[in-house]
Amino acid sequence: MSTPLGIIADDLTGACDVAAGLSAMGVSSEIRLGVPDADDRPRAECVVVALKSRTAPASAAAAESVSAAKVLRGWGAGLIYQKYCSTFDSTDGGNIGPVADALLDRMPQGAISVGTPATPPVGRTMHRGHLFVGDRLLSESSLARHPLTPMHDPDLVRVLARQTRHRVGLVPIEDVRAGSAAIVAAVDALRREGVRHVLVDAVLDDDLDALAAALAVFPDVLAGGAAGLITAIARSLAPAHPAPPHPAPQGAP
């Protein structure tokens, strides 16, 4: 069976949340633990690969993610989604940036990553490139004291720029609210400036729907983010399935 969407999650909890959300939207999905066996082909529309890479050494996280992407591409995945936490749990050494870099290295020249950790139903929003947890900046939330990935900087453009060798840019909320065509134009403008990683503001689920529509336009894109954006992509994949307009992810994002 062809697999239009392949998701690489950096932990099992996130993988389960995504699979549950996709199934709730009427999109069949299955979870594979670790890098899948290429010969064990899926029977679902979407495959979620659950790695243990969130706090693994960056080189190991990148290598496993690349191996998973290779299998997913072999199964016909038209879009690869790098799933990470809605609080962007990572340090200056990685792992979100190094994994994205490694995945881009194996895509056609000019490919870019585009995404957002915003997941409004659980209070994760991004505005002016700054991530909020509820009504507090990320750096003012309990995540600032996380024992493994303390988040002291809420400006994700700065955070990601410290993790990658590529330029990082932002699509601001004004372009998002102007609709998917404006998002496409903004991303194209950033790409012409040499940006390879694009983060996108999102405060409402409607913002994520606009971003999901924009992602469908790009032939070579690595999508990335938390449960919010992947749910929006699922809505675009299964418009005929009856489902709540904006279902909230179950459990932690």
**Average pLDDT, stretch 212-217?**
96
Burial class of 113 by CB neighbour count within 10 A (0 to 12, 13 to 18, 19+): buried
pTM for this predicted structure: 0.91
Nearest partner of 197 among 187, 207, 182, judged by Cα: 187
- Reported as a pLDDT band with limits 50, 70 and 90, residue 40 is very high
Contacts 24+ apart (CB under 8 A), 70-76: 70/106, 71/35, 71/36, 71/37, 71/38, 72/3, 72/6, 72/8, 72/36, 72/47, 73/6, 74/38, 75/2, 75/3, 75/6, 75/38, 75/41, 75/42, 75/47, 76/2, 76/3, 76/4
Nearest partner of 170 among 202, 209, 210, 206, judged by Cα: 202
pLDDT at 158 over 70: yes
Per residue in 57-104, pLDDT (tens digit) is 999 999 999 999 999 999 999 999 999 999 999 999 999 999 999 999
Average pLDDT of the chain to the nearest whole number? 92
Residue 69: per-residue pLDDT: 98
Contact 215, 100 (CB under 8 A): no
Q: Which helix (H) or strand (E) holds 219?
A: none
- Reported as a pLDDT band with limits 50, 70 and 90, residue 24 is confident
pLDDT at 243 over 50: no
pLDDT at 211 over 80: yes
**Which has more confidence, 9 or 26?**
9
- Report all structural domains of the chain as residue ranges with CATH numbers, in order of start: 5-237 (3.40.50.10840)
Per residue in 119-148, pLDDT (tens digit) is 999 999 999 999 999 999 999 998 888 888
Nearest partner of 229 among 221, 196, 35, judged by Cα: 221
Residue 241: per-residue pLDDT: 44
